Copies of this chain bind each other. A is one copy, B any other.
Amino acid sequence: MTIRNLEHAVDPKSVAVFGASVRQGSVGRIIMENIAAGGFEGDVWPVNPKYREIDGRRCYATADQLPAAPELAVIATPPRTVPGIIGELGRKGTRTAVVISAGLSRENGLRQAMLDAAKPYLFRVIGPNTVGLIVPHANLNASFAHMNPKPGVLALLSQSGAIATSLIDWAADKEIGFSHVVSLGDMADVDVGDYLDLLAGDTRTRAILLYLESIPNPRKFMSAARAAARLKPVIAVKTGRHAAGAKAATTHTGALSGSDKVVDAALGRAGILRVRGLGELFDAAETVARFPKLERSRVGIVTNGGGAGVLAVDRLADLRAELAELSQETIERLDKALPANWSRANPVDIIGDAPPERYGAAVAAVADDSETDALLVMNCPTGLASPAEAARAVARLAKDGMINGKPVLTCWLGEMTAREGRRILQKAGVASFETPAAAAAAVSYLSDWSRAQKALMRVPSSLGEDIRGHSATVRDMLRNAASKGRRMLTEPEAKAVIKAYGIPVPETIVVRTGDEAE
Residues of A within 8 A of B (CB): 25, 27, 30, 34, 102-103, 131, 144-147, 158-163, 165-166, 168-170, 172-174, 211, 213, 237, 239-245, 247-249, 251-253, 276-279, 304-311, 313-318, 323, 341, 343-345, 347, 349, 352, 380-384, 413-418, 435-437, 513-518
Choose among B381, B384, B435 the residue that contacts A30 (Cβ–Cβ < 8 A): B384
Whole-angstrom distance between the Cβ of A384 and the nearest chain B Cβ: 6
Choose among B168, B213, B314 the residue that contacts A241 (Cβ–Cβ < 8 A): B314
Chosen A-B contacts, 22 in total, with CB atoms closer than 8 Å, are A25-B384, A146-B417, A160-B306, A160-B310, A162-B304, A162-B352, A162-B380, A163-B307, A163-B308, A165-B380, A211-B307, A240-B310, A244-B314, A247-B313, A249-B306, A253-B306, A276-B314, A278-B311, A278-B437, A513-B514, A513-B518, A514-B517
Output the nearest chain B residue to A306 by Cβ-Cβ distance.
B252
Q: Kindly list chain B residues whose C-beta atoms are within 8 Å of the C-beta of A169.
A: 381, 413-418
Q: Kindly list chain B residues whose C-beta atoms are within 8 Å of the C-beta of A518.
A: 513-515
Interface centre among A276, A307, A341, A345 (most CB of B within 10 A): A307
Q: Kindly list chain B residues whose C-beta atoms are within 8 Å of the C-beta of A349.
A: 251-252
* Residue contact B382 to A161, C-beta cutoff 8 Å: yes
Choose among B103, B276, B318, B435 the residue that contacts A278 (Cβ–Cβ < 8 A): B435
Q: Kindly list chain B residues whose C-beta atoms are within 8 Å of the C-beta of A417.
A: 146-147, 169
Q: Kindly list chain B residues whose C-beta atoms are within 8 Å of the C-beta of A436.
A: 277-278
Q: Kindly list chain B residues whose C-beta atoms are within 8 Å of the C-beta of A251.
A: 306, 343-345, 349
* Residue contact B307 to A252, C-beta cutoff 8 Å: yes
* Residue contact B165 to A314, C-beta cutoff 8 Å: no
* Residue contact B323 to A437, C-beta cutoff 8 Å: no
Choose among B161, B166, B211, B380 the residue that contacts A414 (Cβ–Cβ < 8 A): B166
Choose among B240, B382, B513 the residue that contacts A162 (Cβ–Cβ < 8 A): B382
Choose among B213, B277, B437 the residue that contacts A310 (Cβ–Cβ < 8 A): B213
* Residue contact B413 to A313, C-beta cutoff 8 Å: no
* Residue contact B240 to A279, C-beta cutoff 8 Å: no
Q: Kindly list chain B residues whose C-beta atoms are within 8 Å of the C-beta of A416.
A: 147, 169, 172-173
Whole-angstrom distance between the Cβ of A214 and the nearest chain B Cβ: 11
Whole-angstrom distance between the Cβ of A415 and the nearest chain B Cβ: 4
Interface centre among A170, A172, A276, A343 (most CB of B within 10 A): A170
* Residue contact A313 to B343, C-beta cutoff 8 Å: no
* Bound complex: CA A293 to CA B248 (Å): 28
* Residue contact A305 to B514, C-beta cutoff 8 Å: no
* Residue contact B382 to A165, C-beta cutoff 8 Å: yes
* Residue contact B382 to A413, C-beta cutoff 8 Å: no
Q: Kindly list chain B residues whose C-beta atoms are within 8 Å of the C-beta of A102.
A: 341
Contacts A162-B305, A252-B309 supplied; 13 other A-B pairs, CB < 8 Å:
A30-B384, A102-B341, A131-B382, A160-B310, A165-B381, A173-B416, A213-B307, A213-B310, A237-B311, A239-B311, A245-B314, A277-B435, A277-B437
Q: Kindly list chain B residues whose C-beta atoms are within 8 Å of the C-beta of A513.
A: 514, 518
* Bound complex: CA A170 to CA B145 (Å): 35
Output the nearest chain B residue to A387 by Cβ-Cβ distance.
B146
